[in-house]
Amino acid sequence: MAEIIFIGTGSGKTSLKRFHSSFLITTSNYKLLIDAGDGVSKALLSQELDFTTIDGILFTHLHPDHYTGLAALIVQMKMYNRKDRLEIFVNSELVDVIEKFLFNSYLFPERMGFPIVYRNFKNNDQFNINYEISFLPRQNSHLKSVSQLLKYKQQSFACSSILFQVKSKNIHYTGDIGEKNDLLLFKEFHTNFLISEITHIKLHDILDAFGEDHLPANIIFTHISDDDEKRIDAFLSDLPEKLREKFITAQDGFKLII
Protein backbone atom coordinates (compact mmCIF):
# COMPACT_ATOMS: atom_id res chain seq x y z
CA MET A 1 0.00 0.00 0.00
CA ALA A 2 1.11 3.55 -0.69
CA GLU A 3 -0.39 6.85 0.39
CA ILE A 4 -0.11 10.58 -0.01
CA ILE A 5 -0.35 12.84 3.03
CA PHE A 6 -1.01 16.50 2.29
CA ILE A 7 1.31 18.33 4.67
CA GLY A 8 0.18 21.76 3.48
CA THR A 9 -2.46 22.85 1.00
CA GLY A 10 -2.14 26.63 1.08
CA SER A 11 -1.10 29.02 -1.65
CA GLY A 12 1.82 31.43 -1.63
CA LYS A 13 -0.30 33.77 0.49
CA THR A 14 0.38 32.91 4.14
CA SER A 15 -2.68 31.62 5.97
CA LEU A 16 -3.57 30.72 9.54
CA LYS A 17 -5.73 27.89 8.18
CA ARG A 18 -3.30 26.14 5.85
CA PHE A 19 0.44 25.62 5.56
CA HIS A 20 2.14 26.18 2.20
CA SER A 21 1.70 23.41 -0.38
CA SER A 22 3.61 20.22 0.31
CA PHE A 23 2.79 16.53 0.35
CA LEU A 24 4.46 13.27 1.34
CA ILE A 25 4.44 10.11 -0.77
CA THR A 26 4.88 7.07 1.46
CA THR A 27 5.53 3.54 0.23
CA SER A 28 6.74 0.44 2.04
CA ASN A 29 10.37 1.57 1.97
CA TYR A 30 10.55 5.26 1.06
CA LYS A 31 9.12 8.61 2.13
CA LEU A 32 9.37 11.38 -0.46
CA LEU A 33 8.48 14.95 0.49
CA ILE A 34 7.37 17.14 -2.41
CA ASP A 35 8.38 20.78 -1.88
CA ALA A 36 9.38 22.35 1.43
CA GLY A 37 8.28 25.95 1.69
CA ASP A 38 8.32 28.32 4.63
CA GLY A 39 6.96 26.64 7.77
CA VAL A 40 7.27 23.05 6.51
CA SER A 41 8.91 21.89 9.76
CA LYS A 42 5.92 23.03 11.81
CA ALA A 43 3.56 21.60 9.21
CA LEU A 44 5.20 18.17 9.53
CA LEU A 45 5.12 18.44 13.31
CA SER A 46 1.39 19.22 13.16
CA GLN A 47 0.91 15.92 11.28
CA GLU A 48 2.95 14.08 13.93
CA LEU A 49 5.51 13.05 11.33
CA ASP A 50 9.05 12.24 12.39
CA PHE A 51 11.57 14.49 10.61
CA THR A 52 14.14 11.70 10.61
CA THR A 53 12.00 9.29 8.58
CA ILE A 54 11.89 11.39 5.40
CA ASP A 55 14.17 9.75 2.85
CA GLY A 56 14.08 12.38 0.13
CA ILE A 57 12.83 15.85 -0.77
CA LEU A 58 11.88 16.83 -4.33
CA PHE A 59 11.57 20.42 -5.49
CA THR A 60 9.33 21.47 -8.37
CA HIS A 61 10.72 25.03 -8.49
CA LEU A 62 12.27 27.63 -6.25
CA HIS A 63 9.56 30.07 -5.29
CA PRO A 64 9.81 30.72 -1.52
CA ASP A 65 6.58 28.90 -0.65
CA HIS A 66 8.05 25.78 -2.25
CA TYR A 67 11.64 25.64 -1.01
CA THR A 68 12.73 28.12 1.67
CA GLY A 69 11.72 25.86 4.55
CA LEU A 70 14.51 23.44 3.59
CA ALA A 71 17.24 24.94 5.77
CA ALA A 72 15.03 25.00 8.86
CA LEU A 73 13.89 21.44 8.18
CA ILE A 74 17.49 20.21 7.94
CA VAL A 75 18.25 21.94 11.25
CA GLN A 76 15.36 20.03 12.82
CA MET A 77 16.66 16.77 11.37
CA LYS A 78 20.06 17.50 12.91
CA MET A 79 18.52 18.40 16.27
CA TYR A 80 16.53 15.16 16.21
CA ASN A 81 19.82 13.26 15.66
CA ARG A 82 19.16 12.04 12.17
CA LYS A 83 21.87 9.65 10.95
CA ASP A 84 20.55 8.32 7.63
CA ARG A 85 21.36 10.09 4.40
CA LEU A 86 18.92 12.60 2.94
CA GLU A 87 18.39 12.68 -0.82
CA ILE A 88 17.48 15.98 -2.48
CA PHE A 89 15.91 15.76 -5.93
CA VAL A 90 16.25 19.02 -7.84
CA ASN A 91 16.57 20.12 -11.44
CA SER A 92 20.23 20.05 -12.49
CA GLU A 93 20.03 23.78 -13.29
CA LEU A 94 19.10 24.58 -9.68
CA VAL A 95 21.49 22.45 -7.64
CA ASP A 96 23.92 25.31 -7.07
CA VAL A 97 21.12 27.48 -5.72
CA ILE A 98 20.16 24.87 -3.12
CA GLU A 99 23.76 24.22 -2.14
CA LYS A 100 24.47 27.94 -1.67
CA PHE A 101 21.22 28.38 0.26
CA LEU A 102 22.28 25.74 2.76
CA PHE A 103 25.87 27.02 2.87
CA ASN A 104 24.66 30.56 3.56
CA SER A 105 22.49 29.16 6.33
CA TYR A 106 25.69 27.81 7.93
CA LEU A 107 24.70 24.23 7.25
CA PHE A 108 28.08 22.76 6.39
CA PRO A 109 28.41 19.06 5.46
CA GLU A 110 31.13 18.47 8.05
CA ARG A 111 28.80 19.50 10.87
CA MET A 112 25.57 17.94 9.65
CA GLY A 113 25.71 14.52 11.30
CA PHE A 114 24.16 12.88 8.24
CA PRO A 115 25.00 12.96 4.52
CA ILE A 116 23.00 15.02 2.01
CA VAL A 117 23.07 13.55 -1.48
CA TYR A 118 21.90 15.59 -4.47
CA ARG A 119 20.13 13.60 -7.16
CA ASN A 120 19.81 15.88 -10.15
CA PHE A 121 17.11 15.48 -12.75
CA LYS A 122 16.42 17.03 -16.12
CA ASN A 123 13.06 17.84 -17.61
CA ASN A 124 11.76 15.15 -19.97
CA ASP A 125 14.04 12.46 -18.52
CA GLN A 126 12.49 9.59 -16.57
CA PHE A 127 14.02 9.27 -13.09
CA ASN A 128 13.81 6.11 -11.02
CA ILE A 129 14.08 6.61 -7.26
CA ASN A 130 13.63 2.93 -6.48
CA TYR A 131 11.52 0.01 -7.67
CA GLU A 132 8.35 1.61 -6.24
CA ILE A 133 8.68 5.29 -7.19
CA SER A 134 9.73 6.97 -10.41
CA PHE A 135 8.90 10.33 -11.91
CA LEU A 136 8.90 12.25 -15.17
CA PRO A 137 9.39 16.04 -14.93
CA ARG A 138 8.39 18.45 -17.67
CA GLN A 139 8.86 22.21 -17.89
CA ASN A 140 5.66 24.21 -17.53
CA SER A 141 4.91 27.87 -18.25
CA HIS A 142 4.68 29.14 -14.66
CA LEU A 143 7.86 31.24 -14.93
CA LYS A 144 7.56 32.08 -18.62
CA SER A 145 6.72 35.76 -18.19
CA VAL A 146 9.55 36.52 -15.77
CA SER A 147 12.02 34.50 -17.86
CA GLN A 148 11.57 37.05 -20.65
CA LEU A 149 13.12 39.84 -18.60
CA LEU A 150 16.43 40.40 -20.37
CA LYS A 151 18.46 41.38 -17.30
CA TYR A 152 17.82 37.97 -15.73
CA LYS A 153 18.80 35.85 -18.72
CA GLN A 154 21.57 34.13 -16.73
CA GLN A 155 19.06 32.90 -14.16
CA SER A 156 17.53 29.44 -14.49
CA PHE A 157 13.75 29.34 -14.72
CA ALA A 158 13.37 25.60 -14.39
CA CYS A 159 9.87 24.87 -13.14
CA SER A 160 8.43 21.39 -13.38
CA SER A 161 5.15 19.63 -13.41
CA ILE A 162 5.71 16.02 -12.37
CA LEU A 163 4.17 12.70 -13.35
CA PHE A 164 4.84 10.35 -10.45
CA GLN A 165 4.55 6.63 -11.01
CA VAL A 166 3.94 4.89 -7.71
CA LYS A 167 3.21 1.17 -7.73
CA SER A 168 1.78 1.32 -11.28
CA LYS A 169 -0.42 4.36 -10.51
CA ASN A 170 0.14 7.64 -12.38
CA ILE A 171 -0.09 10.81 -10.29
CA HIS A 172 0.12 14.09 -12.17
CA TYR A 173 1.18 16.92 -9.88
CA THR A 174 0.88 20.21 -11.71
CA GLY A 175 3.10 22.14 -9.31
CA ASP A 176 2.62 25.84 -9.97
CA ILE A 177 1.59 26.34 -13.58
CA GLY A 178 0.93 29.28 -15.88
CA GLU A 179 -1.99 28.33 -18.13
CA LYS A 180 -4.50 25.59 -18.76
CA ASN A 181 -2.37 23.97 -21.49
CA ASP A 182 0.05 22.96 -18.72
CA LEU A 183 -2.65 20.57 -17.51
CA LEU A 184 -2.03 18.50 -20.65
CA LEU A 185 1.73 18.07 -20.33
CA PHE A 186 1.22 14.34 -19.73
CA LYS A 187 -1.78 13.81 -21.98
CA GLU A 188 -0.34 10.63 -23.50
CA PHE A 189 -0.52 8.92 -20.10
CA HIS A 190 -3.53 7.56 -18.28
CA THR A 191 -3.75 9.64 -15.11
CA ASN A 192 -5.16 7.99 -11.99
CA PHE A 193 -4.80 11.09 -9.83
CA LEU A 194 -4.49 14.74 -10.80
CA ILE A 195 -3.21 16.97 -7.99
CA SER A 196 -3.73 20.48 -9.27
CA GLU A 197 -2.87 23.88 -7.91
CA ILE A 198 -5.71 26.35 -8.42
CA THR A 199 -4.09 29.73 -7.79
CA HIS A 200 -2.87 30.35 -11.32
CA ILE A 201 -5.70 28.80 -13.33
CA LYS A 202 -9.47 28.99 -13.42
CA LEU A 203 -11.28 25.94 -12.06
CA HIS A 204 -13.17 25.55 -15.32
CA ASP A 205 -9.81 25.26 -17.09
CA ILE A 206 -9.65 21.67 -15.83
CA LEU A 207 -12.97 20.85 -17.48
CA ASP A 208 -11.99 22.69 -20.65
CA ALA A 209 -8.57 21.03 -20.89
CA PHE A 210 -9.71 17.43 -20.49
CA GLY A 211 -13.38 17.54 -21.41
CA GLU A 212 -15.98 16.20 -19.02
CA ASP A 213 -15.79 12.70 -20.54
CA HIS A 214 -11.99 12.40 -20.21
CA LEU A 215 -11.29 13.78 -16.74
CA PRO A 216 -8.88 11.88 -14.52
CA ALA A 217 -10.69 9.60 -12.10
CA ASN A 218 -9.57 11.62 -9.08
CA ILE A 219 -8.85 15.37 -9.06
CA ILE A 220 -7.47 16.95 -5.90
CA PHE A 221 -7.32 20.72 -5.47
CA THR A 222 -4.38 22.20 -3.57
CA HIS A 223 -2.44 25.51 -3.35
CA ILE A 224 -5.59 27.11 -1.96
CA SER A 225 -5.83 30.61 -0.50
CA ASP A 226 -8.48 31.56 2.04
CA ASP A 227 -10.28 33.49 -0.69
CA ASP A 228 -10.28 30.46 -3.00
CA GLU A 229 -12.59 28.41 -0.78
CA LYS A 230 -15.73 30.26 -1.88
CA ARG A 231 -14.61 29.97 -5.49
CA ILE A 232 -14.26 26.20 -5.11
CA ASP A 233 -17.66 25.85 -3.42
CA ALA A 234 -19.35 27.79 -6.21
CA PHE A 235 -17.61 25.72 -8.89
CA LEU A 236 -18.55 22.39 -7.31
CA SER A 237 -22.13 23.39 -6.61
CA ASP A 238 -22.68 23.98 -10.34
CA LEU A 239 -21.52 20.48 -11.31
CA PRO A 240 -23.77 17.43 -11.72
CA GLU A 241 -23.39 15.11 -8.75
CA LYS A 242 -21.64 12.36 -10.74
CA LEU A 243 -19.03 14.83 -11.96
CA ARG A 244 -18.69 16.51 -8.56
CA GLU A 245 -17.63 13.19 -7.05
CA LYS A 246 -14.38 13.31 -9.00
CA PHE A 247 -13.18 16.43 -7.16
CA ILE A 248 -11.62 16.65 -3.71
CA THR A 249 -10.64 19.87 -1.97
CA ALA A 250 -7.58 18.90 0.05
CA GLN A 251 -7.12 20.07 3.62
CA ASP A 252 -3.90 19.89 5.59
CA GLY A 253 -3.60 16.32 6.85
CA PHE A 254 -5.77 14.81 4.10
CA LYS A 255 -4.63 11.26 3.24
CA LEU A 256 -5.01 9.66 -0.15
CA ILE A 257 -4.56 5.92 -0.61
CA ILE A 258 -2.96 5.12 -3.96
Please write the tens of the pLDDT for every residue from 54-96: 999 999 999 999 999 999 999 999 999 999 999 999 999 999 9
Residue 35: is its pLDDT beyond 70?
yes
Q: Which CATH superfamily is domain 3-257 in?
A: Ribonuclease Z/Hydroxyacylglutathione hydrolase-like (3.60.15.10)
Cα torsion at 124, 257, 205, 135 (round to 10°)?
0
Asked if 195 contacts 21 with a C-beta cutoff of 8 angstroms, the reply is no
Residue in 151, 31, 145 with CA at minimum distance from that of residue 82: 31
Q: How far apart are CA 159 and CA 220, in angstroms?
A: 20
CA-CA-CA-CA torsion sign (199, 205, 210, 214): positive
Residue 147's pLDDT band (cuts 50, 70, 90): confident
Number of helical H runs and strand E runs in the chain: 8, 14
Q: What is the mean pLDDT of residues 21-25?
A: 98
Domain boundaries, the chain: 3-257
pTM: 0.97
In sequence order, what are the residues at sequence separation of 6 or more whose Cβ sits closer than 8 angstroms to the Cβ of residue 28? 1, 2, 132
Average pLDDT, the chain: 96
3-state SS record for 194-239? EEEECCCCCCHHHHHHHCHHHCCCEEEEECECCCHHHHHHHHHHCC
Inter-helix orientation angle 95-103/70-79, to 10°: 60
Residue 210: is its pLDDT beyond 70?
yes
DSSP letter at 10? B
pLDDT digits (tens, 9 = 90+) for 40-58: 999 999 999 999 999 999 9
Residue 150: is its pLDDT beyond 70?
no
In sequence order, what are the residues at sequence separation of 6 or more whose Cβ sits closer than 8 angstroms to the Cβ of residue 150? none
Residue 236's pLDDT band (cuts 50, 70, 90): very high
DSSP letter at 133? E
Q: What is the mean pLDDT of residues 107-130?
A: 97
